[in-house]
Amino acid sequence: MYELRPSHKWFAIAIVSFFLWEAAWVIAGVDSFPHSWEIARDFIPLLFTLLFWESVSITLLISFWGFVLGTLLALLLGISIALWSSGEKATRGTINFFRAIPSVVFLPLLIASIGASVRTSVILTTLVVTLISITYVIRGVQGVDPLLTESASYIKLNPIDRILILFLPSMISTLGSGMRLASARAIGTVIAAGIIVGGPGLGSAMGAAASGADYPRVFSYAITMGIIGVLNYSGFTYLENKLFRWRTTV
């Protein structure tokens, strides 16, 4: 089968992207859809501004804290539910119900109660990450080999050791898939909070550009978000492949 060489491949991707974009420009036919070179002319100088890097770092920092807190909370709740004999059946409906609610709908509630701040975005991101990861934690704990659980009871492992020695290593591969999904959703949530209620970060920068009709800037921020998304996805996939080479990615 004919395959493109890597250098040819990336050249072809650049050419096709350019022509697709310009074709879209012709179809859209509105001022709010800039040419590709107009976006490039805005994007390159933007990379050298402090404001841009401030927005990027705030977005990543909030996502990181929301991700860490959410994962810890999911571990705590998920392990407790999975260890409780009828816990999964009892809580499944409630967890699925909360997962079905689009996270951003909690924003007005958070704004009303604590205002638009870094804390609001962190709380919302923590909630999103917890709801995504908890199912993976429960599935992971339930997937632990019963023989290992019995051995742990036989040697009388205390609850902390049981979590650290038995459950965490056994479920880490399942949790890895959940963490990859949750990290992408964490970034998306911080950006959503910025767009909807002006929470700090790239979302509010994009919202400000949109309301100021600075369309090349809006697309520059969209490209930045795409680059962050690709880096996040590639980073997690790389880590998963390095750390869990013994299993396939779910």
Q: What is the 3-state secondary structure (H, E, C) of 68-84?
A: HHHHHHHHHHHHHHHHC
What is the nearest approach in angstroms of another protein to the Cβ of residue 72? 22
What is the nearest approach in angstroms of another protein to the Cβ of residue 61? 17
Distances (CA, A) of 149 to 125, 157, 165: 33, 10, 11
> Which of 62-83 are b and which e, b meaning 16 or more Cβ less than 10 Å from the residue's Cβ?
bbbbbbebbbebbbebbbebbb
Question: Contact with another protein (CB under 8 A): which of 180, 225, 236, 240?
Answer: 225
Q: Return d(Cα 69, Cα 145) in angstroms, integer.
A: 28
Question: Contact with another protein (CB under 8 A): which of 1, 26, 155, 160?
Answer: 1
Per-residue x/- track, 169-208, another protein (CB under 8 A): ---------------x--xx--xx--xx------x--xx-
Q: Does the protein bind another protein through residue 100 (CB under 8 A)?
A: yes
Per-residue x/- track, 202-221, another protein (CB under 8 A): -x--xx--x--x-x--xx-x
Q: Does the protein bind another protein through residue 96 (CB under 8 A)?
A: yes
What is the nearest approach in angstroms of another protein to the Cβ of residue 245? 21
- The helix/strand/coil state of 199 is coil
